[in-house]
Structure formats: structure tokens, C-alpha cells
Amino acid sequence: MKSTSHAFKQQATIALHDERLQRALGKAKGGFINKRQAAIDALPVFGDLRKRAKEIKNHTLEHLDFYLERFEQQVEKNGGQVHWAEKPEDARQAIIDICRSVDAKKVTKGKSMVSEEIALNQALEEVDVEVVETDLGEYIIQLAKEPPSHIIAPAVHKTREEISDLFHDKHGTPRLEEVPELVNEARQMLREQFISADVGITGANFLIAETGSTIIVTNEGNGDLTASLPKVHIVITSIEKIVPTLEDVTTLIRLLGRSATGQEITSYTSFFTGKKRDTDIDGPEQFHVVLLDNGRSEMLGNEFREMLRCIRCGACMNHCPVYGSVGGHAYGWVYPGPMGSVLTPLMTSLEESSHLPNASTFCGRCAEVCPMSIPLPDLLRQHRIREYDQGLQAPRAKWALKLWAFIAKRPRLYHFIVSKKIRVLSWLGKKSGRFSYMPFATGWTKSRDLPAPQGETFLSAWKKQQGDV
């Protein structure tokens, strides 16, 4: 997937004026937030699980090389093979070589953000391998020729009416409007694809070093069919997904479902351990795991190490006011929202995606809801520091910050200027109570009004209240 993160401002402006997108985002946001809260309220030990999960991942990252080698040994013991990929092109080539070795013509895929990260579909299609997405959301956006806009709900930006129109156009069937009917139509279309596929490709939510197993969590069962029906099963995932033991992974699973979709556990939690055994009725004859690095080893040794604890639940973006306003496509690459604003500059370049770390209010909600206690605002701030150090800021913004810093370091001057400005703005906005345009604040007033101040600063109001007390 080619990054368009450099165009975030333009893409965000378009998203803000897209009425259908705003309806879809509004509906989805409330569902994610309310269901998550209900699930966590019903589990009093959620905070303890969170603490334990952080300890597990920190320990694993401290000994990542050991656990990855252990995982490889167990995969080979179970008849599988591990392929190490430093860069996206290495991962793509490894998967292409496997498909060529069995003369594959058709591949079914489960949802995998790492496959999006390496642009796998395009690479397979270029060598004449048909790719069929089997996750309902991924299937919808494949038909629409769009990238996913959310890491757990790829088609969250689509309304039911849009999906109905899409199925009618692409399938040539009567236009259906009810959700169960649309789901059943997709199921009918995908059934033959499952049966006729030569290779099945899935991602992995977790890898278990103890057993050499890979785990996927789904609500549709498409991952199980993708992994078990074709003769070859390929898992494409990244190195930080490793967990030491089966017991450890149960802690993470209890956090993942509740944080992602508000479920105690997803409908399907599937473990895959090697290829088909002689006593098995069905299953793949070949089992391959492609492990991608793509800058993660570098992250392991720098200030962004804590990002490697991420379990891709999507809670940060579900609660982010910026993502909730513009959706995922505005971010311009695979990973949107707060977690994407940390990852994208590391995996593409800060120069390409410097807008993303700045597209944050620093409200801290993302860190508050993260089940792995990742300090996302702090990591976004680190990108801003790098941006300044590398001279990537626009000259106007750079000088504006220098001027603000000069004033802010002098409290008396700061309070004097702010109090005068507040009074002037209060007088100018007295009649309407808001400003639809303001010089030097067009980034705000371009899409919403700026409330007029009430005539005094917060500090003066606070002092007055203290005096009253």
C-alpha cells in the first residue's frame, strides 16, 4: 500500500465534509466505546490483567531473540517451516516462492494487517495468483478497491446502503437491504472460493514459543476455513507477536476481545500447530510462518520500544476524537489512529508522515484505554521532537513556536498578553458568541467555529474562585 500520509490535511478535510462517512463513524464509535466499557465493568480484575499483560510483553521483548528461536524450533518439530523476512519485499518473495512451488492459482486470505503492510495482494496478483479476501469487511473493501480504514473493522467507513449497492453491482444479484441478507449473500459467494483455493493465508494475533502455535481470533470462522481447507497454510505475521507460553497468551486474549469489540472472548479463537498429522482427518499438508521485521528490531532499541507491546485491539482509535472525526483513510497508510501515528513514521518515514504525530489533541484517552498501557501521547511527542531536530517543520510553524516559547518562558509577559487578548476577543465575539474565521487559527475555523472567550483567563477565574472559598 503506497503511503499518502503527506496529504493528511487534505484527506482529513474531505473526510470532515463526507456526510455518509460521518454517519458511519458516528454509529460505529458509540458501539465500540459502550460495549468495551460494559465488558470491562463486568470484569473487576481487568486492571490486574492489564498489569500482568504488560509484564509478559516486557519480559518477552527483553528476551525476544530467545523466544523467536524457540518458536522456530517448535514449528519445525511440528513439520512446519519458518521464513525470516527483514523487509516487506523479503516477505512478499517468500510467499510468492511458496505459491509457485505448488503451482497455486488461487489464494484465500484471512484478515491480516501485516499483509497490508507488505502490499501482499498486489504482489500475488502481479504473478497471476488470484487473491480472495474472506473476512467480510476485507471482502467488502476488496470489491470496492479500497484499503481498510480500521484494524479490526476494515469496512467501518461503509454504510449499509453503500454495501447493498456494492453487492448489487459486483454480484449482479437483486439489491438486498437487511444485514443478515447481505451477510448470507457474501457467504454464498465465498463458499466456492474456500473449496477451490490452493493456498490459505492468515495473519496471527499471537505466536506461542512453547508450542510453535499461531493463534487467530475472529467472529466469522473464515480464518479456520482459510487455514484448514487448502493444502498449504501460510501465516504472515511480525516478530513482536511472540508470547512465551499458553498460560501467558490466555491473559492477553482476555484483554483483546474486551478492548476490541467488547466481547468476553471472540466467537472463534483458533490455534494452529504445524501441518496435518497422519491421524488428522483434514488440514494443510504444508505449514509456513513468515516472520516480518520491517524496522521492529530498530524499535526494540530506541525510545519507541513500548509500541511493540501493541496487540492491535483498536481501542485507541475507537476513543480518539481525531480518528472519530476523519476515519482511517485520512491517515494515508495501513495503521490509522494514535497507534498508526506512532508506527507509520517509523515504517515509512517521518518526512512522509510528519502530519500524523501532530494530528493529536494529546487528550490522553488513547493511553487510558490501551490494554497494554502504551504511553501513546509520549511516543507521539517523541516524533514531534524528532521532527523539530530534523528541521522538518514548516518555517512558519517553527517561528510561531519560537515566539510562543519566548513568551511562555516569561510568566508576567505571558499573562499580560493573554489577558489583553482575551478581553479583545470577548468584546469582538460578544454578539455571536463565536468566530467562524480567525487569522492564525484557520486550521480550527476551517471546519468548526471557535467559541468566544468570556472575558477572563482560566488563571484569573481560578484565583477568584479560591478567594470565594
Q: Are 227 and 282 in contact (CB under 8 A)?
A: no
- Which residues are CB-neighbours of 69 under 8 A, at least 6 positions away? none
pLDDT (tens digit, 9 = 90+) per residue, 143-174?
999 999 999 999 999 999 999 999 999 999 99
Handedness of CA 434, 437, 438, 442 (dihedral sign): positive
Confidence of residue 459 (pLDDT cuts 50, 70, 90): confident
Query: What fold characterizes domain 43-297?
Result: Rossmann fold (3.40.50)
Lowest model confidence (mean pLDDT) among 265-274, 346-355, 386-395: 386-395
- Ramachandran assignment for 412, one of left (phi > 0), alpha (psi -120 to 50 degrees), beta (any other): alpha
Closest CA to 130 of 106, 110, 109: 106
pLDDT (tens digit, 9 = 90+) per residue, 102-112?
999 999 999 99
- Ramachandran assignment for 455, one of left (phi > 0), alpha (psi -120 to 50 degrees), beta (any other): left
- Which residues are CB-neighbours of 204 under 8 A, at least 6 positions away? 214, 215, 216, 235, 237, 241, 289
Report d(CA 355, CA 9) in Å as an integer: 8
- Residue 334 C-alpha cell reads as 495501513
Mean per-residue pLDDT of the chain = 94
Question: If you ran DSSP here, which 8-state letter would residue 150 be given?
Answer: S
Closest CA to 352 of 337, 333, 339: 333
Strands (E), 189-267: 199-202, 206-208, 213-218, 232-238, 242-243
| pTM for the predicted model, two decimal places | 0.90
The pLDDT > 70 percentage for the chain reads 100
pLDDT higher at 458 or 250:
250
Report d(CA 176, CA 380) in Å as an integer: 44
pLDDT (tens digit, 9 = 90+) per residue, 188-214?
999 999 999 999 999 999 999 999 999
Report d(CA 132, CA 198) in Å as an integer: 11
For residues 263-276, average pLDDT: 95
Domain(s) labelled CATH 3.40.50.10420 in the chain stretch across 43-297
Q: Are 226 and 268 in contact (CB under 8 A)?
A: no
pLDDT at position 469 is 56
Confidence of residue 439 (pLDDT cuts 50, 70, 90): confident
Q: Are 374 and 367 in contact (CB under 8 A)?
A: yes
